[in-house]
Each structure stands twice: as structure tokens, then as C-alpha cells.
Structure 1
Amino acid sequence: MAEREWISVDSKGARSKTTLSSHMTIHTPPKTDIWRPSPTQDDFNAPFIYASLKSSAFRRISVNISAHWKTKYDQGGLIICWPRSPRNQSQWVKTGIEYFEGKPALSVVGCDRFSDWSLCPMPEANAVDATIEAVRVEQTLWVYLVLGAERRPLREIKWAFLEGRDVEAEMWVGIYAAKPTPESQDDLQSGIEVLFKNLTLDAE
């Protein structure tokens, strides 16, 4: 993983090379998100760190995520993106932790033409961290919650590696953080810092 080039993208879209470590943080300002509520509205301004590879090369990625979650939709986790799909619109999957109805939950969002969303409870009532893994199984992407030696399936995404996708297609894999909701109407500065530990990428 150390030999792979990693790119950091801020909330304004500025890119720079970065170096990974065993403990990393991404700080995000409010009003940031990765979300497509309709084919004509595409919000993708959350800061993220990614490596670019061929779609055929990806095998798995995992990371531990934690933060002081406090505001509705505070979130962070893994991001997997195909920036150029056959329809000339990006396709992506994000998965991790999202703060909803007063507590953190496990979240998976898949976006083809537009976004969907699924939530699962955290493994323990007071948990604020989780290890999430995304794995390619033939043409499918599986998302798991990792608990020691146990993997609990959270989502199966069938379209991720369909035969119609060019095996040479560019794919971004990495981590992100977002804060769609400001802490108050008057506070447009206070963001959230998400901590990532033990990021592992398995790719050819």
C-alpha cells in the first residue's frame, strides 16, 4: 500500500498527494456530502482520500472509523467510486458510520442513477467506532461489519462489477468524511473530524 499513490481532495475540489499512516483524520466543514437525490442533482463536495486503480484490480478495502458524532448525518467511512460510468455519470458506494435520530448507525449508500440508503444498528448501544470492509466477490461488491474474526454482511451491491463495465475502467477507493448539517443556522464553520485506523487495500 505504501507504493501506491494516494490523493487528498478537499471540500473545494483541490487535489494534492498525501501519505497514509496507521492513524489518519479527515476534517470536514458543514454542508458537505456525497449524495445524488435525483439524476439531475449531484452533491459530491465531501473531502476524501483515494487511490486510483483499474476496476479489474480491486479485491478488498477495510478501515476502522470513529468520531465524536453529534449532528444529524455526520458521517465517515469508505468511498468506492467509478468516476466515468457508461452513462458518463459517476457511480459510487459509500459505507461507514452516520449519525441519525440521535445516535450513530452503520450506513451503506449505493449510487447508480441516483442514491439509495440503508441503515443498521451499531454492534453495541454506546459504540462510536466500527470496522467496515468492502470485498469484491466475482461481479458483486459485498459490504461487511468486521467484529474480530466475524464478518456480518450489511449489503450486497450487484451492479458494482457487471460484465458491461470495462475492466480497464478507472476506479477510486479510499476514505471520506462529510457533515451535511451545520450545528446551528448561525454556525457554518464548526466541522467534524473523523479518525481512520488500519486502512487496508488489497488490489493487484
Structure 2
Amino acid sequence: MPSNTFSITAAPGTDIWRKPPTTNVFNAPTALPSSPSGAALRTAGPLASFRSARLSFNFAPAAQYDQAGLLLSFRRRGDAGAAPPAKWIKTGVELYNARPRLSTVSCDSWADWSVADLHPAAAAAAAATGAGQEEIGWTTVLVEKDKDGNGTGVWVYRLVRNAETGEEEKVPLREICWVFGLEKLEEWEVDVSAMAARPEKGVAEGLVAEFGGLEVKWAE
């Protein structure tokens, strides 16, 4: 279990999603750990100084699009508290067509969405045998600034611990290239938090998600 655990309860009808021509929903609850160990955790600052953010989470999805994970909100300086933020990235796990999927949504002007099997072997077995939904278990994601010969962007990873070496391996999920290409980058700030959502409105109860191990790194 990760350190500094906390929870979020997302009511039915909550989501973070933007789709043309008119859908712009940003009413999902967010949270931060109340008492991080050591020095106070800095979770917001100039976008140009952002280096990485990681978070672990666990929940039991039941309804289509139930989700939990890491949220990065991008706002111009002076727009703090504005809802919804101008741009955002969320990455975590989402229930889609009865299977938990690794899910990343990137929203520049409008949102786009990518999914991958959370447990590929279990998903294949379930498809072959008709077995029930697999459990999620504690999952860790990382969003990290990356620079290569083609320019600067961010990579989204799932972190998986190697059973033999004990070391964490970064499983690439998605590269997002618009973040550090924003006009007047020095005017943008980023805010990091945990999020959970239950978009389905016809559900009686809220979705409870557990989180821990939030780490955010900035340039010195």
C-alpha cells in the first residue's frame, strides 16, 4: 500500500470531458493528501518548471466510465480557480465495456481519449472463457516531461514493479506534444491532483476511490 493515503467519493453524474460541439463537463471531485510526510508537497506552479507527477490508486468500478487517476489542470496565470481549466490531462483507469482500461484523456481545444487493457492476460482469458471482470488492484501512473531530438513534450506511463529485480519499469501509454508548445508558456501554470468520477447518472451510490503516493517534481 502506498504512503499518505486518502480517498475521494464521486457522485453519479460527475465527469471531466470536453467534446464538440457543446459538451464541456468539469464537475468531478479532486483531492490532495491532507498530511504528506516530510516537507509540504508542492502541487501547483509554473508550467515551465514542471518535471513529473505520479500517483497510485485503487477502486472497484461498477458502472460504465467509472474512473480514477491523476489530473493535471492548465490555466493562464491570473485564472486560478476558474472552472473548467482551459486545458487538462487525466490518466488512470476507467471502466469501458465491462473491462477496466488504462485510460488517458488529453484536452487542448477538445478532448481525445486512448485506452489499453489494464491486465492484458486477464482480459484475453475473460474474452475466451466469459469470465467476470478482473480486479483493478493498486495501479501507479506517471506523467513526465520529456525532451528528445524532435522537441519537448510529456510522456504518460504506467509504473510496474519487476518481480525479479524489484525495480520499477515505465510502460509507455501515450506521448502528448502540445503541453510545452503553448503560446507564451511563461504565462501558464499547472495544478496536480487526484480525481475520481462516475459519469453514469442512473446509479444510486457514489464511487469511492483510494489514492496514495502522490509525488510532484519541479525544476530547482
Q: TM-score, normalised by structure 1?
A: 0.80
Q: Tell me how far apart the structure 1 counterparts of residues 207 and 181 of structure 2 sit (CA, whole Å).
A: 36
Q: Tell me how far apart the structure 1 counterparts of residues 157 and 213 of structure 2 sit (CA, whole Å).
A: 16
Cα distance, 1:163 vs structure 2: 5.7
Cα distance, 1:73 vs structure 2: 0.3
1:128 aligns with 2:136: yes
Mark the runs of 5 or more structure 2 residues left unpaired by the alignment: 33-42, 123-133, 162-167
- The match for 2:4 is 22
- The match for 2:216 is 201
Q: Pick from 66, 80, 85: which aligns with 2:58?
A: 66
- Higher RCO (CA < 8 A, seq sep 6+): 2
Pairwise CA RMSD = 2.0
Q: Tell me how far apart the structure 1 counterparts of residues 61 and 74 of structure 2 sit (CA, whole Å).
A: 28
| Structure having the larger proportion of residues in strand | 1
Q: 1:142 to 1:56 in 2, by over 3 A?
A: same
SS in 2 for 1:161: helix
Number of residue equivalences = 178
Any conservation in 2 of the 1:62–1:199 contact (CA below 8 Å)? Answer: yes
Runs of 4+ in structure 1 over 6 Å off: none
Cα distance, 1:116 vs structure 2: 0.6
Q: Pick from 118, 122, 145: which aligns with 2:158?
A: 145
- The match for 2:26 is 44
1:44-193 aligned at under 5 Å gives the runs 44-49=26-31, 51-84=43-76, 90-123=86-119, 125=122, 126-129=134-137, 130-138=139-147, 139-148=152-161, 149-162=168-181, 164-184=183-203, 187=204, 190-193=205-208
Q: 1:163 to 1:46 in 2, by over 3 A?
A: closer
Mark the runs of 5 or more structure 1 residues left unpaired by the alignment: 1-20
Q: Tell me how far apart the structure 1 counterparts of residues 192 and 71 of structure 2 sit (CA, whole Å).
A: 6
| Structure having the larger proportion of residues in helix | 2
Instruction: Give, as a single letter, the amino acid of the residue that structure 2 aligns with 1:200.
Output: E
Cα distance, 1:83 vs structure 2: 2.4
Q: TM-score, normalised by structure 2?
A: 0.75
Cα distance, 1:64 vs structure 2: 1.1
Any conservation in 1 of the 2:63–2:95 contact (CA below 8 Å)? Answer: yes
Identity %: 33
Instruction: Give, as a single letter, the amino acid of the residue that structure 2 aligns with 1:79.
Output: L
Q: Tell me how far apart the structure 2 counterparts of residues 68 and 30 of structure 1 sit (CA, whole Å).
A: 15
Cα distance, 1:164 vs structure 2: 2.5
